[in-house]
Amino acid sequence: MIKQIKQLILKLTDTLNKVLIISPHPDDETLGCGGSIFFHKKNGDEIYIIFVTSISIDDGWSVKKVNERNKEIKKIKKIYKFKKFYNLEFPSSKIKYDNINDIINKISNIFKEVKPNIIYTPFINDIHTDHQIISKSVNSCLK
């Protein structure tokens, strides 16, 4: 198993990759694959990110919280230096199965544009329902 992992790492570092990270919320990219992001940066890979959700005053968030979130996103973008950043701006608390087709369409369009060969997405059996929905949306795009 260790030999196989070493071979995979060598293969990944041998060529430049297009890496797409699908993050339900800002911070999920760091918690879920922060080490992998730095690995890909060190390799010189192109790294793209999708934040699926956002928060707004219209959805009941305070001005202070919205401003804090926007500062966090700017900081994340500065640290990781993504090639391109996408924000789908679905309301954070409203990721449901009844809007999965909209999520699939938006992610699919980004797949067509980026053409990634490596994708990081939430675990399909994540305890958070919104993460499951996003994972299933990504899987639909890969059919």
pLDDT at 105: 95
pLDDT at 80: 92
pLDDT at 112: 95
pLDDT at 6: 61
Question: What ranges make up the beta strands (E) of the chain?
Answer: 18-23, 46-54, 84-91, 118-120
The rounded distance, in Å, linking the Cα atoms of 29 and 86 is 13
Write the CB contacts of 90 (distance below 8 Å, at least 6 apart in sequence): 52, 53, 54, 99, 102, 103
The pLDDT tens digits of the residues spanning 51-106 come to: 999 988 888 899 999 999 999 999 989 999 999 999 999 988 788 888 899 999 99
Residue with the bigger pLDDT between 118 and 143: it is 118
pLDDT at residue 110 above 90?
yes
Entry pTM = 0.86
